[in-house]
Structure 1
Amino acid sequence: MGGPAVALVRVPYAAPPLLLLGGVAADVFAPEPYYGLPLLACTSMVAGMVYSFRVSVLFALAACVAAASAAGYLGRVHSALFTDVAAVLVVSAVGLWIKWLVDRQGRSLAVALTVAEAAQRAVLPAPPNGIGPLSVADRYVAAQAGAAIGGDLYAIQDTPFGIRALIGDVRGKGLRAVSAVSVAVGAFREAAEHAPTLHDLADRLDRALNREGERRKNSEDDIEGFVTALLVQIPPSGETVTVLNRGHPPPYLLHDGAVLCLEPTHPDLPLSTGLGPSHGAPVEETFPFAPQDSLVLVTDGVTEARNEEGVFFDVQRGLAGRGLRGADELADALVKAVTEWTGGQRQDDLAVLVLTRGE
């Protein structure tokens, strides 16, 4: 099973020594001179593609020695011997210089990516593995390659009113949406400690986003559009889950092997629509939350993931009948199912937050 694949991986590493041996053989046994010189000259350049700089230097030296030995064996005059070695040495030096430049740029890029990921994760910290009676798991796949986060967001914390969680999606995707993510998460962290109801909490988030949008209007960091949001509250006992939906994909409740979609009966507008905070009746809905039940919160990167035929991913079908237990297993299974459905294509930012109640 893996044998041919492993052999394929090793082929590039065998190329430099094969070029070295082939160059010597071609130089010695070819009917005309200098047939092997190109092979010897490019040995260190090819080595630089798969080996370290030091090993590439060794291949360069070996190629020069091989060129000199082949010329000496064939009895070429000193000028020809010098020309052979000089040609191999010059090409090898160019290859080593390119290798040094690429390695230096690679190190700089690695540092930049590390700093960028740390900065992005400071905006969206990973939630704790457990909080109160809940085990928690999160997964995030950014649509923009090289980014740790994009326009999706989530947060969870213990408050005087119980455990509160948020999952949301900023209009748009990629790094341009990170400004709105930082505002929404920061506002949630503060307001969740003081807002007496989820309805009031949503209004505070709405005002914070609108206020920040006004402040940044016409600037490079302009926050535009809206933020869909789903707010969740679970009491310390963990017996119920209360949900308020502001234009976000509904959560899914896993109970006794069944996957239930908690569609809102009174859907409300997303946050930061420009229409101000919602002034309608509270739309909080409460559901039983039994031991070993799981609440799966997702963004539209999950619900709107499409396969080759353009068919949307069905979360209920994707999780049904798997016999999964535990937040981490559920999160991994859902991301894997979406990836298989889309063929690994990144269509949108994807976020999953799973809350599982213990015994």
Structure 2
Amino acid sequence: MIVTIRTRNLAVGFPLAAAAPVVAAPLMSFAGTIATGLVAFGAGAVLTVSYGPVSEYQDIRFITIGVLTAIAAVINRLITRDRRSLRSARDVAEAVQNAVLPVPPDRIGPLAVAARYLAAQEESAIGGDLYAIQDTSHGVRLMIGDVRGKGLGAVEAVTVLLGAFREAADWARDLPEVIRILERAMNRLNAGGNDPVCFATAAVAEISSDFTTLNVANRGHPAPLLVDGGKARELEPASPSLPLGLADLGPPQVPVDRFDLPPGAALVLFTDGVTEARDRHGAFYDPLQRLSQPIPREPDGLLDALIADLYRHTGARLTDDAGMLALVRNFDSPTEMFTQGRGLAG
């Protein structure tokens, strides 16, 4: 009976010890994997001493642990190399994206400005997210968008749209004219490219010269959020519109929605990499909930808080690139601050 129990312990213990370095390979460092193999070897020796007797299979068991440790070390090296390659590819993609995107000014009049670009952790291709803001004689004009697809084709479309926006923002008389210029740019790109159905969702906005009103032309993009008086709300378009590049499939009119921009209010725009981010249960992220809570007064802190909440929701894993743009209209005077009330957290 005792011999049977010892034999059973050996039969169970050795396979577990042999499997330990293989399990450790994708989870630990190279040194940790080797150390796990040595511990497994020592555990096998303890099992042999404790639950002998010595059998003709003893040497095979120890050889098995040694071979599996060597295999685990090779697996660890391969996994580490692949992780470094993926990390390097993501870093390159993010660097190229940041080089293509214009760096927004920190301040335009009473507007404090901040932007963020988050590279997807499950993609190494360059994304098509874009944003831009420009001070013009017509007011402050800004755009955030997301080109369909990834890679060099997306970069080409982003470059075309940014160039067209910079030109249109300066001299176009109104937002519908800006949209039409962007549409013509996308049509030229589609006519001369290999992809005949390139399109981009975009929200193009204009803040009046006195910084009191906001006009938005939304082309199939996630609605911007306005935070005022401690409450956040979506600036949904009254009439839906097709993305840029697909205007020929819809009506010729360019709907523009008008909103008030009170002192102390924050405007937050983002791409669908934010709203389509999911947690481990598949639930989508809702930035409206986070922005309805107390948030920092400055746009940099606001976006940092939003990103931290986004990472908390997703477990710090994004499946799509995300672009963000935040503007805060500072109070014009101390009197105005007290009469309007604080819209953001101090």
Letter in 1 for 2:178: L
**Displacement, 1:231?**
2.5
Does the Cα contact within 8 Å between 1:230 and 1:243 map onto a contact in 2? no
Query: Quick one: distance in 2 between partners of 1:51 and 1:304?
Result: 32
Change (3 A) 1:167 1:62: closer
The equivalent position to 1:46 in structure 2, one of 23, 29, 52, is 23
Partner of 2:74: 97
Match of 2:244 in 1: 271
Map of 1:224 onto structure 2? 197
Distance 1:38 1:125, change over 3 A: farther
Please identify the structure whose Cα radius of gyration is greater.
Answer: 1
For residues 341 and 46 of structure 1, the distance between their equivalents in structure 2, rounded to whole angstroms, comes to: 28
Would you say 1:30 and 2:3 are equivalent positions?
Answer: no
Q: 1:80 to 1:69 in 2, by over 3 A?
A: farther
The answer for the alignment partner of 1:153 in structure 2 is: 130
Closer, same or farther: CA 68–118 of 1 in aligned 2, 3 Å: same
2:178 aligned with 1:201 = yes
Closer, same or farther in 2 for the Cα pair 1:204/1:188, shift >3 Å?
Answer: same
Structure 1 residue 184: Cα displacement: 1.5
Task: Select which of 199, 202, 207 maps to 1:234.
Answer: 207
Judged with a 3 Å threshold, the aligned counterparts in structure 2 of structure 1 residues 89 and 305 are, in CA distance, closer, same or farther, namely: closer
* Partner of residue 6, structure 1: none
> Residues 294, 85 of structure 1: CA spacing in aligned structure 2 closer, same or farther, 3 A cutoff?
closer
Amino acid at match of 1:273: L
Letter in 2 for 1:355: L
Q: Compute the displacement of 1:198 (Å).
A: 3.6
- Cα separation, partners in 2 of 1:333 and 1:45, compared to 1, 3 Å: closer
CA distance in 1, matches of 2:326, 2:291: 15
SS at match of 2:244: coil
Task: Report the Cα distance in structure 2 between the residues aligned to 1:34 and 1:341, rounded to whole angstroms.
Answer: 45
The residue type equivalent to 1:272 in the other structure is G
Query: What's the counterpart of residue 22 of structure 1?
Result: none
Would you say 1:294 and 2:266 are equivalent positions?
A: yes
Alpha carbons 2:218, 2:237 under 8 Å: kept: no
What amino acid is aligned across from residue 267 of structure 2 in structure 1? L
User: In the alignment, what sits opposite 1:355?
Assistant: 327
- The answer to whether the aligner puts 1:243 opposite 2:215 as a matched pair is yes
1:223 and 1:142, CA in 2 relative to 1: closer, same or farther beyond 3 A? farther
Distance in structure 2 (CA, Å) of the matches to 1:68 and 1:304? 53
Q: Is contact 1:199–1:284 with CA below 8 Å preserved after alignment?
A: yes
Alignment of 1:271-350 (within 5 A): 271-273=244-246, 275=248, 288-297=260-269, 318=289, 322=293, 324=295, 326=297, 327=299
* Deviations, residues 152-203 of structure 1 (Å, cap 9, x unaligned): 5322234465432112344x56667555334222322344345454444333
For residues 275 and 106 of structure 2, the distance between their equivalents in structure 1, rounded to whole angstroms, comes to 25
Question: Matched residue of 2:25: which SS?
Answer: helix
Measure how far apart 1:328 and its partner are. 5.3
- Contact 1:247–1:267 (Cα < 8 Å) also in 2: yes
Q: Which amino acid aligns with 2:6?
A: A
Given that 2:90 and 2:121 are in contact with CA atoms closer than 8 Å, whether structure 1 keeps it comes out as no
In the aligned structure 2, how far is the partner of 1:350 from the partner of 1:321? Answer: 20
List gaps (5 residues or longer) in structure 1. Answer: 1-25, 307-311
Change (3 A) 1:48 1:235: same
- Residues 8-62 of structure 1 show CA distances to partners (whole Å, capped at 9, x for unaligned) of xxxxxxxxxxxxxxxxxx99x8146843332332232233243211122233234
- Aligned mates of 2:125, 2:112 — CA distance in 1: 23
- The TM-score normalised by the length of structure 2 is 0.66
Instruction: Report the residue type matching 1:353 in the other structure.
Output: L
**One-letter amino acid of the counterpart of residue 358, structure 1:** N
Q: Give the Cα separation in 2 of the matches to 1:345 and 1:61.
A: 34
- Partners of 1:214 and 1:247 lie apart in 2 by 21
- Gap runs ≥5 in structure 2: 279-283, 332-346
1:112 aligned to 73, 89, 98, which one? 89
CA-to-partner distance for each residue in 1:276-328, whole Å, 9 max, x for gaps?
Answer: 9x987x9767655342122343557788999xxxxx9998x858964555345
- Structure 2: distance between partners of 1:207 and 1:39: 66
What is the CA–CA distance in structure 2 between the aligned matches of 1:300 and 1:80, rounded to whole Å?
60
Counterpart Cα distance in 2 of 1:108 and 1:283? 45
Separation of aligned partners in 1, 2:182 and 2:21: 59
**Structure 2: distance between partners of 1:98 and 1:42:** 13
SS of 1:233's partner is strand
Contact 1:121 1:149 (C-alpha < 8 Å) held by counterparts? no
Q: Measure how far apart 1:353 and its partner are.
A: 3.1
Contact 2:225 2:268 in 1 (8 A): yes
List per-residue Cα deviations over 1:235-254 (Å, max 9, x = no partner): 66x53344251544654544
Give the structure 2 partner of residue 7 of structure 1: none
- Is the CA contact 2:26–2:76 (under 8 Å) kept in the aligned structure 1? yes
